[in-house]
Structure 1
Amino acid sequence: MPDNSAPIQGASAAGLAPVRPIQAPSAASILADDREKLQQGQRSILLIEDDLNFARILMEMVRERGFAALAAANGEDGLYLADHCLPDAIILDVMLPHVDGWGVMRLLKENPRTRHIPVHFLTCLEDRQKAMSMGAIGFVTKPVDPDQLAELFATIENAISRSVRKLLIVEDDPAESKGLVALLEGRDVAISVAGSGKEAMDLLSREAFDCMVLDLGLSDMSGFDLLEHIEHEDEKRRLPVIIHSGRSLSHEEELKLRHYTESIIIKGAKSPERLLNEVTLFLHQVESSLNPEKQRMLRASLDKETMLEGKKVLLVDDDMRNIFSLTSILAEKHMIVVEAENGREALARLQEHPDVDLVLMDIMMPEMDGYETIRTIRMDPALPGSASSP
């Protein structure tokens, strides 16, 4: 078993933005779990649950199924154990002291050492879609009955027993689909390619896939038609859908996609790094199983500061001291900074730079304040950030 006496640095160990160091659990917080008896290679499930009585019940169920049981009563201890013990799966509550379940999930998925671990939520909250969109394998709401718990463990056992994940790529451009296969293939991924919506529907009716990459512009039907078909399938056969498009979605298309978000997980991936990140997340791939170049791409996608590189930001402030300070900080992130000292100048800069990605707007300014400037931007379809711009 790995040494569990040193503090974990979370995602910062992989060169990512540092998170608050998490110390080893205090003796008072430790349930009588199996961490001291855990052997190298032994299968284990981590329970992150602050209801100690319920946690003890779950631990017995874990042991009955042949797993070692690890337990944490708060988010920090759970993150520590996940990083140091690398369990085969995690059962996670949301209502936790200190770091809640959403924060725990986010940090697990930002850490390359733990992001592949299947996580099943077990909580009193009703927010299944949020959990699934973060990469969870399942979501059950408390209180639970024995049948629900049995199904929960069956879901976990199925997730960790599969050595090969199945990915469906739906793309009618042969050259594009070939490039996607080259990007996403791996020794633990079986890829099927559908060149049309009908072919995709046939494959989905015969096989269960773990994830689908979908181009919205198909030759025989739109991607929306295919999503409509999936929505009416058996709920257990629904799957994460990653929209892959070379263009930005229009406002109307985004509204259409929201129609499906209660039943289908929709992600937009516009770059190879982002697409690789999303697919490996939903397929629960171990980072070390990827080749070195794909590991580099994955870490670049996970590194939030890398996402800022090359982005153009318009900085609007009438105080030159603020502009100087913020420009220095943004330049360190390799961002392109365009400056404006008031609202009218900001509008002129947006006309000159229609490729601006972000506007940092002061509110209290002479001539035209921030509120009026924002309203003007939203009303002008020619400006980036308007209500009708892509």
Structure 2
Amino acid sequence: LVMGTHCTGMKIAAYPEKVDFCKGCELIKSIATEARDEYLSEQIVPTKKDTKIILAIDDNPEAIDIICKYLGDDYTVVGLLGGDDAVEKAKQIKPMAITLDIMMPRKDGWEVLRELKNDPETQDIPVIVLSIVDDQRMGFSLGAAEYIVKPVEKELLLKKLKTLEKAEKFKRILIVDNEPTTVRMMGRVLEEAEYQVTTAYNSQDAVKSIENFKPDLIVLNLTVPEIGFDVIEYLKVARGMKDIPLIVLTQKELSDAEREQLNGRIRGILNKVILSKQDLLKELKNTVQKMSRS
């Protein structure tokens, strides 16, 4: 819509209430506002449990439409015009990821990103910044997972989202080891890499953590058999736990019988005798990250 003779050339913005109108254009303002509200009301949240939802936040409806076209075959895109209600919307629909524009009126993307990362319910949702502003340092310092400078290419956006999906597979990690110092060091390294970590020092605590924490991956010390293999036996019989992968810590080569007992769960073997503590931590981090990308 373009304004009439009193406001020649002024276009209705995504937020028409921000434009100063003369009385002769109040009707157009009303129509534009209703159209914007109707657009928002049409963003239906899917109810299918396994649907991957992307929350697209932008002040430009055309930009949201482009994201819908790019991602429609793989995801359900829920559009939100502007960032005022971003945190509440994210809490409501629990998206797999959020795409976020920076240059928006009233509340810009930087402020939205800060709010998302400061709220416990939304801080773990990956945010991909999509903006004409090329300030990746600012974006990453505020917690953005990815940063793409507009114009956005479909293949690149899909690639970034697929990478985030894979990383989600191993988001929660349980460390089971009877050495507190080693556990703390491993936990610190993985937490710095933005994994959620919980720890256990014996098989009883490990079982409780598996039941309550529901880890995606277990780092398990096999040097103390009554800890390591007790946990493995529990995983064999516990409902929904048999496919949890393992990275094992050991001080010797595993025998064929031990490997058979692990039943193909092993994704990595770290020898605590051969590796220094520094190398052990480095190899652990690299192994987990490779699993996330595979």
Which residue type is aligned with residue 97 of structure 2?
A
Aligned to 1:200: 281
- Which residue does the alignment assign to 1:120? 128
1:53 Cα offset (Å):
1.4
Distance in 2 (CA, whole Å) between partners of 1:99 and 1:62 is: 26
Residues 179 and 154 from structure 1, CA distance in 2 versus in 1: closer, same or farther, beyond 3 angstroms? closer
Q: Which residue of 2 aligns with 1:56?
A: 65
Distance across 1 between alignment mates of 2:154 and 2:279: 40
1:68 CA displacement:
2.1
Q: CA RMSD in A?
A: 3.9
Which stretch shows the higher mean deviation, 31-40 or 94-103? 31-40
How many residues of Structure 1 are paired with residues of Structure 2 in the alignment?
184
**3-state SS of 1:117 partner:** coil
- Three-state SS of the structure 1 residue aligned to 2:289 is coil
Cα offset, 1:208, TM superposition: 1.4
* Correspondent of 2:215 among 181, 188, 194: 188
Q: What are the residue-to-residue correspondences of 1:4-83 with 2, within 5 Å?
A: 28-29=36-37, 31=39, 35-36=43-44, 38-39=46-47, 41=49, 42-65=51-74, 67-83=75-91
Query: How far apart, CA to CA, are the structure 1 residues paired with 2:34 and 2:290?
Result: 42
Distance 1:166 1:125, change over 3 A: farther
Pick closer, same or farther for the CA change 1:199–1:32 going to 2, 3 Å.
same
Contact 2:54 2:96 in 1 (8 A): yes
Q: Percent identity among equivalent residues?
A: 24
Question: Which of 80, 99, 103 is the matching residue for 2:107?
Answer: 99
SS in 2 for 1:64: coil
The residue identity in structure 2 corresponding to 1:117 is: I
Which digits, 9 at most, give the CA deviation of each residue in 1:48-101, with x for residues without a partner? Answer: 012221210101223211x22211121113333212222221111111111111
Deviations 1:288-338 (A, max 9, x none): xxxxxxxxxxxxxxxxxxxxxxxxxxxxxxxxxxxxxxxxxxxxxxxxxxx
Correspondence 1:258-277 to 2 at 5 A: none
1:192-271 mapped onto 2 (5 Å cutoff) = 196-208=277-289
Q: Does 1:84 align with 2:89?
A: no
| Map of 1:155 onto structure 2 | 163
- Compute the TM-score of the two structures, normalised by the length of structure 2: 0.51
Counterparts of 1:81 and 1:119, CA distance in 2 = 14
Contact 1:95/1:123 (<8 A) preserved:
yes
Evaluate the alpha carbon distance shift between residue 146 and residue 37 of structure 1 in structure 2; reply closer, same or farther with a 3 A threshold: closer
| Contact kept in structure 2, 1:164 and 1:189, CA below 8 Å | yes
Q: Secondary structure at the match of 2:39?
A: coil
CA distance in structure 1 between the partners assigned to 2:86 and 2:291 by the alignment: 26
* Residue of structure 2 equivalent to 1:131: 139
**Partner of residue 145, structure 1:** 153
Task: Indicate how the Cα distance of structure 1 residues 150 and 84 shifts in structure 2: closer, same or farther if over 3 A, else same.
Answer: closer
1:206-237 CA distance string (max 9 Å, x none): 441699xxxxxxxxxxxxxxxxxxxxxxxx9x
What do residues 243-279 of structure 1 show as CA deviations (whole Å, max 9, x unaligned)? xxxxxxxxxxxxxxxxxxxxxxxxxxxxxxxxxxxxx
Unmatched segments (≥5 aa) in structure 2: 1-32, 189-196, 199-212, 220-248, 250-274
**TM-score, with normalisation over the residues of structure 1?**
0.39
Q: Secondary structure at the match of 1:208?
A: helix
Q: Return the offset for 1:118.
A: 1.8
Letter in 1 for 2:56: L
For the pair shown, the structure with the greater C-alpha radius of gyration is 2
Which position in structure 2 is the counterpart of 1:11? none
Counterpart for residue 175 of structure 1: 180
Q: Tell me how far apart the structure 2 counterparts of residues 165 and 129 of structure 1 sit (CA, whole Å).
A: 27
CA–CA distance in structure 2, aligned partners of residues 182 and 165 of structure 1: 11
Alignment match, 1:108: 116
Whole-Å separation in 1 of the counterparts to 2:56 and 2:280: 41
- One-letter code aligned to 1:175: P
Give the aligned residue type for 2:139: A
Q: Residues 122 and 134 (structure 1 numbering): CA distance in 2 closer, same or farther, change over 3 Å?
A: same
Distance 2:163 2:91 in 1: 22
Q: Using a 3 Å threshold, how does the CA distance of structure 1 residues 28 and 205 change in structure 2: closer, same or farther?
A: closer
Letter in 2 for 1:188: P
Partner Cα distance (1:205, 1:109) in 2: 26
